[in-house]
Structure 1
Amino acid sequence: MPEASESPEGCLAVPIRIPVRIVVLVLVVPVRMLWDALVVTGRFLNDTLFRPLGRALLWLGRAVFVLPFVGLWRYVAVPLGQALAWLGKVLVVVPLVGLHRYVLTPVGRAIAWAGRGAGAGLGWVYAHLLTPVGHAVTWVLRGIGAVLAAIGSGVYAAVAWLGRYLVVLPAVLVYTWVLTPVGHALLWCGKGLMWLVSTAVNGLGVALYWIARILFVLPALALWRWFLAPVGRVLAVVGREVLDALGHAWRIAGHVSLAVGRFLGTLLRWIFVEPVRWVYRSVLTPVGHVVRDHVLRPAAEAARSAGRATRQALATARETVRQARADVRRMLFGEPRRPAPVARREPSGREARTLGGSTTALTKD
């Protein structure tokens, strides 16, 4: 039972589906087989060539670029920076701290003490000298300001009276009896002109609307409804079927490619791998065992025996040469002088000291 949410198929879907799937399957199978071959080749190259090459390049880059910079930073830059920091501390920081602590601080305190003394003197001068003088000057300036304010008030009143009767009243009369009627007339004329213009524009807009609707909109609507929409539906059905056919063909081509790959792998195994394995197991391994047991091991044993005999012969020759050299030395220079015996402080033999016993040299009766 199909689900209720699935859309019903049209009458074009069934006759289009089978031919399209056949054509697409014929076209997709070679592409899928080529794709699978490229994937296998790429994986083989990645495992055998690119990955080891990448690791080698990574190691080479680390050895050529990273390790020198790390060594330069660790053994050159860091010690140099520490040395410069120590020099900066010794040559700059410590002198500045000493200058601030032992020079600038005492000088600043002395200047502050002198400033406090000068401030006390200036305060006395301000309280007993400048304040009375300022009060006197303020009283004089207040009197002068009062006189000037009286004069300014009179002048302002006169100017205001003249401006009212010479400027304000004539301007009010002109605005009331001249400008207002003229403005009303101009406003009425402008309203009429705007009505005429708006009526003409509305009529022109309606005419252009109907002309555009008849010449463009209705033909475009008819073209969309009776031609483009049916053609679009047909193309949508064809496109959907082509996409479905591509999906089915790709999956079927995958199964075909897998079967072909397994067949080629089995064929390669029976033609090449199994014969090589049989030859290695049935021919090369027994031959190798025979060669190892009857040729290599006896040859190795003979080589070891020859080596031992050679080492013994060389040791005998060295001993003979050493004795001959000693005999020649005795014939030329005589017997070497033996050192004179020296009395030993420690008793020898049975008279030697023993720890924890009564037979030492000191306690022996």
Structure 2
Amino acid sequence: MNTENPGSDAPGCLTGAARAVALVVVLPVRLLWDALAFCLRQLWRWILAPIGRALAWLAHHLLVVPLRWLWEWVLAPIGRALARLAHHLLVVPLRWLWEWVLLPVARAVWWLVDLLLVTPLTWLWRYVLGPVCRVAGAALAWAWRIAGQILGAVGRAVRRTLWNLVGRPLAWTYRVLLTPLGHALRAWVWEPLAVVGRAVGAAAREVRAALFGGAR
């Protein structure tokens, strides 16, 4: 008796069917991809690469070579010639002018300035103006100090004179005359007047109380 499962061949059939469908779908795509890749390789090999090499050759022979030749045989010699001309027409004359004209003239001018101005002024300051300024400064400092002492003495004399002429008589007058007079006026005038005033005030209060009645 056959004991095998009849459905055991189903997965194998499904796998074969899936592979067949995938092959049918992928085969045209792979064919198209291979054809495109082949065409691109042939296009690069027989068209683009030769055109690129031709353009590079043309650029090299039409640009690089002429420009290199122009630089080596025209621009560089012209630059060297111009540099040589500038050196001989500008640098050398200017150097000669500086070394043999301007520098000696500057040295001569400085020598004249030093001889006619700096040295006399230095000598004048060292032997005339400096000592005179020092002596004058010392004299002014001494005069300032002496003037301060004189003004101090004059101030003290003026204060003493004013005290003897004005202050001392006023102090004596206040102490000897005005103070006793004030004490006498206070004892003989102000105090009696104050007593009379207090008595008059008391009498006036009594009259007002008698006439109008006093406050309880």
- Whether TM exceeds 0.5 here: the answer is yes
Name the residue aligned to 1:281.
175
Residue 182 of structure 1 corresponds to which residue in structure 2?
74
Look at both structures and tell me which one has the larger radius of gyration over its CA atoms: 2
* CA distance 1:265–1:191, change in 2 (3 Å): same
Find the aligned partners of 1:273 and 1:299 in 2 and give their Cα distance.
34
Counterpart of 1:195 (choices 65, 77, 87) is: 87
In structure 2, list runs of 5 or more residues that go unmatched: 1-31
Provide the residue aligned with 2:185 in structure 1: 291
RMSD: 3.0
C-alpha offsets along residues 7-44 of structure 1, whole Å, 9 cap, x if unaligned?
Answer: xxxxxxxxxxxxxxxxxxxxxxxxxxxxxxxxxxxxxx
Q: Give the alignment of 1:119-198 within 5 angstroms.
A: 150=40, 154=44, 156-197=48-89, 198=91
> Could you list the runs of 5+ residues in structure 1 that have no partner in the other structure?
1-142, 321-365
Instruction: Measure the CA separation in 1 of the matches of 2:80 and 2:106.
Output: 36
- TM-score normalised according to structure 2 size: 0.69
| CA distance in 1 between partners of 2:114 and 2:176 (Å) | 85
Supply the AA of the counterpart residue of 2:53. Answer: W
- TM-score normalised by the chain length of structure 1: 0.43
1:136-160 per-residue CA deviation (whole Å, 9 max, x = no partner) reads: xxxxxxx99xx69x49x84753542
Specify whether residues 293 and 193 from structure 1 end up closer, same or farther in structure 2 by C-alpha distance, changes over 3 A only: same
| Bigger RCO (CA 8 Å, 6+ sep) | 1
Aligned sequence identity (%) = 28
Give the secondary structure class of the aligned counterpart of 1:277. Answer: helix
Q: Aligned match of 1:250 in 124, 127, 144?
A: 144
| Change over 3 Å in CA distance of 1:262–1:167 after alignment to 2 | same
Deviations 1:82-103 (A, max 9, x none): xxxxxxxxxxxxxxxxxxxxxx
**2:100 maps to 1:213:** no
Figure out how many residues of one structure are paired with residues of the other and give that number.
Answer: 175
Q: How do 1:13-162 and structure 2 match up within 5 A?
A: 150=40, 154=44, 156-162=48-54
- Taking structure 1 as reference, are residues 309 and 225 closer, same or farther at Cα in structure 2, changes over 3 Å only? closer
Q: Which amino acid aligns with 1:258?
A: G
CA distance in 1, matches of 2:52, 2:97: 59
1:227 corresponds to which residue?
120
